[in-house]
C-alpha cells in the first residue's frame, strides 16, 4: 500500500474533510511519474479508514476510459469518426438514426440522450436488452444538430461501437482490459467488478435525485438507475458493465489513464495513441458555445468525447479556462484530468456525493487539494527547468 504525499497535500486533504468530504483519494502523475498517491477520511458507515487501495465509483469519469478505447480502434483504422454508426452497427440506423456519425456519439450530439422506458438495474445489466432498445429509439433531435449530454445511455452506444469493431469480437469490458488497461499497467480499474473485490469498495453516501427533480434530468438518469448510493451500493450495480458511468477503481488507476493523455499518448515507453491524435482531442464539438440542452448551460465538450476546461457547470475545481486540459467529471463530484501543456494528470475520487449546483471554484471541497497538487507539480517542473 503506497502513501505518496507531501505535508501540503496532506493538509489540503484535511481541509477537504473539513469542507464536508467523508473519504477521498487523490493521485497525480507528472510527465508520467507518480508524484501523489494518498487518501484520507472514512469509508462511509463502516468507519474504516480510506486507503490508496480503496475502490471508488467515479461515475462518468468512466466515459474518458471508454472514449480512449474507441480512439484505440480509430488509431488502428478500424473506426472513422466521420462515418455513420451504421457502417459498424447496421441495426442502429432504425427509426431516423441512419445519419448519426461516430463523432455525433462522441460529442453528445447523437440525439438519443434518454434511457429506455421501464429501465431497471436488472435490465441495465442486460447488455443485449440495452442494445435492442437503443436500436429501436427515435431521435429526440435530428442527429448532429443539438448539444445534449447523453448522461447514461452514451456508454452502451460507445461500448457497442468498440465491440463491433474489435477484430476478436470481444465485449467492451474485455477490450478495455486487454487493449487499454493492461498495456498501460493499470491493474485496479474494472468494468464489472469481481465479487472477490467487493470488500475494497468505498460505500457511497447520498446522491439521490431531488424529490422535485426536473423531468428532463430524470429522462437521462431515471430514478431506478440514478447515480446514487441507493443504486450503486448494490452488488448488481457493481457487477454491471456500464461503460458510461459504472467503472470502479482507484484514483491512481484513473490518474494513470489521464497520464497517458497528458504525455500525448505514451506512458512508460508504451504508445497507446498517436501524439497528433491526442493533440486533436482539444478540438471543441460543433456549436460548442450553444447551451447544452441536458445540462442547461454552455458546457465545453471535445469532438472526441472528453470535456474541455472553460465556463461549463463542471469546469471545477479551478480548471478555469486552461485550453490544454482534457477532463471528465462524474456524478457526485469525482473528476480526472490531463494537462497536455504541463504533463500533469490528476484524479480525485470520493464517497460523499455532492448534490445541487456545483459550488464556486474557490469554495469547492476539492479546491485545496487541486491547489496543493498543482503547486507541487510547478515546483517539480521548476527544479528541472
CA distance 185 to 176: 12
- CA-to-CA separations, 269 to 32, 250, 260, 266, 273, in angstroms, rounded: 10, 23, 10, 6, 12
Look at residue 215 and tell me if it is in a domain: yes
115: phi then psi, degrees, rounded to nearest 5: -75, 160
6: its cell numbers: 507531501
The closest alpha carbon to 212, from 75, 101, 95, 356, belongs to 356
Look at residue 2 and tell me if it is in a domain: no
Kindly report the three-state secondary structure assignment for every residue of the chain: CCCECCHHHHHHHHHHHHCCCCEEEEEEEECCEEEEEEEEEECHHHCCECCCCCEECCHHHHHHHHHHHHHHHHHCCCCCCCCEHHHCCHHHHHHHCCCCEHHHHHCCCCCCCCCCCCCCHHHHCCHHHHHHHHHHCCCCCCCCCCCCCCCCCHHHHHHHHHHHHCCCCCCHHHHHHHHHHCCCCCCCEECCCCHHHHHHECCCECCCCCCCCCHHHHHHCCHHHCCCHHHHCCHHHHHCCCCCCCCEECHHHHHHHHHHHHCCCEECCEECCCHHHHHHCCCECCCCCCCECCCCECCCEECCCCEECCCCCCCCCCCCCCCCEEEEECCCCCEEEEECCCCEEEEEEECECCCCCCCCHHHCCCHHHHHHHHHHHHHHHHHCC
The closest alpha carbon to 225, from 207, 211, 212, belongs to 207
CA distance 229 to 208: 7
Contact call for residues 221 and 231 (beta carbons, < 8 A) = no
Look at residue 47 and tell me if it is in a domain: yes
The pLDDT assigned to 47 comes to 87
Q: Side-chain half-sphere of 7: how many Cα atoms within 13 Å?
A: 0
Q: Side-chain half-sphere of 50: how many Cα atoms within 13 Å?
A: 30
Domain count, the chain: 1
Radius of gyration of the chain (CA): 19
Spacing of C-alpha 5 from chain mean position: 24
Q: In terms of residue numbers, what domain contains 32?
A: 7-383
Q: How many CB atoms lie within 10 A of CB 360?
A: 10
The position carrying cell 449530454 is: 149
Look at residue 164 and tell me if it is in a domain: yes
Q: Which tens digit of pLDDT belongs to each residue from 137-168? A: 999 999 999 999 999 999 999 999 999 999 99
Encode burial over 26-48: b for 16+ CB neighbours within 10 A, e otherwise: bbbbbbbebbbbbbbbbbbeeee
Look at residue 200 and tell me if it is in a domain: yes
Residues in the chain with pLDDT < 50? 311-317, 385
**Span between the terminal Cα atoms of the chain, in Å:** 32
The pLDDT assigned to 231 comes to 98
The pLDDT assigned to 357 comes to 72
Q: How many CB atoms lie within 10 A of CB 355?
A: 14
Q: Which tens digit of pLDDT belongs to each residue from 321-332? A: 667 899 999 999
Look at residue 203 and tell me if it is in a domain: yes
Q: Side-chain half-sphere of 87: how many Cα atoms within 13 Å?
A: 14
Look at residue 330 and tell me if it is in a domain: yes
The pLDDT assigned to 126 comes to 98
Strand partners, 42: 49
Residues labelled catalytic: 60
Look at residue 1 and tell me if it is in a domain: no
Rounded to two decimals, the pTM is 0.97
The pLDDT assigned to 2 comes to 79
The pLDDT assigned to 362 comes to 77
CATH number where 335 lies: 3.40.710.10
Amino acid at each position: 500500500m503506497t502513501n505518496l504525499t507531501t505535508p501540503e497535500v496532506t493538509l489540503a486533504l484535511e481541509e477537504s474533510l473539513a469542507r464536508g468530504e467523508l473519504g477521498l483519494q487523490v493521485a497525480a502523475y507528472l510527465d508520467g511519474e507518480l508524484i501523489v498517491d494518498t487518501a484520507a477520511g472514512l469509508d462511509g458507515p463502516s468507519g474504516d479508514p480510506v486507503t490508496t487501495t480503496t475502490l471508488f465509483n467515479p461515475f462518468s469519469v468512466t466515459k474518458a476510459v471508454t472514449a480512449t478505447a474507441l480512439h484505440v480502434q480509430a488509431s488502428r483504422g478500424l473506426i472513422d469518426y466521420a462515418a455513420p454508426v451504421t457502417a459498424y452497427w447496421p441495426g442502429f440506423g432504425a427509426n431516423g438514426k441512419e445519419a448519426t456519425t461516430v463523432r455525433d456519439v462522441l460529442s453528445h450530439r447523437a440525439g438519443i440522450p434518454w434511457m429506455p422506458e421501464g429501465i431497471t438495474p436488472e435490465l441495465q445489466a442486460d447488455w443485449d436488452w440495452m442494445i435492442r432498445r437503443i436500436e429501436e429509439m427515435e431521435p429526440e433531435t435530428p442527429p448532429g444538430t443539438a448539444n445534449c449530454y447523453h448522461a447514461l445511455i452514451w456508454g452502451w452506444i460507445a461500448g457497442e461501437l468498440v465491440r463491433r469493431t474489435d477484430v476478436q469480437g470481444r465485449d467492451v469490458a474485455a477490450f478495455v482490459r486487454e487493449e487499454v488497461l493492461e498495456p498501460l499497467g493499470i491493474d485496479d480499474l474494472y468494468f464489472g467488478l469481481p465479487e472477490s473485490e467487493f470488500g475494497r469498495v468505498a460505500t457511497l453516501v447520498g446522491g439521490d435525485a431531488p424529490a422535485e427533480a426536473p423531468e428532463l434530468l430524470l429522462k437521462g438518469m431515471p430514478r431506478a438507475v440514478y447515480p446514487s448510493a441507493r443504486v450503486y451500493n448494490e452488488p448488481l450495480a457493481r457487477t454491471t458493465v456500464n461503460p458510461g458511468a459504472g467503472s470502479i477503481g482507484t484514483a491512481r488507476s484513473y490518474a494513470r489513464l489521464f497520464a497517458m493523455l497528458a504525455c500525448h499518448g505514451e506512458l512508460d515507453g508504451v504508445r497507446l495513441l498517436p501524439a497528433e491524435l491526442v493533440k486533436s482531442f482539444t478540438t471543441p464539438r460543433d456549436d460548442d458555445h450553444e447551451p447544452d440542452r441536458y445540462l442547461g448551460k454552455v458546457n465545453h465538450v471535445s469532438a472526441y468525447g472528453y470535456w474541455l476546461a472553460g465556463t461549463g457547470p463542471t469546469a471545477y475545481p479551478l480548471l478555469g479556462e486552461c485550453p490544454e486540459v482534457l477532463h471528465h467529471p462524474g456524478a457526485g463530484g469525482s473528476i480526472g484530468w490531463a494537462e497536455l501543456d504541463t504533463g500533469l494528470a490528476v484524479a480525485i475520487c470520493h464517497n460523499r456525493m455532492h448534490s445541487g449546483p456545483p459550488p464556486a471554484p474557490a469554495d469547492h471541497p476539492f479546491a485545496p487539494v487541486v491547489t496543493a497538487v498543482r503547486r507541487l507539480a510547478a515546483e517539480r517542473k521548476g527544479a528541472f527547468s
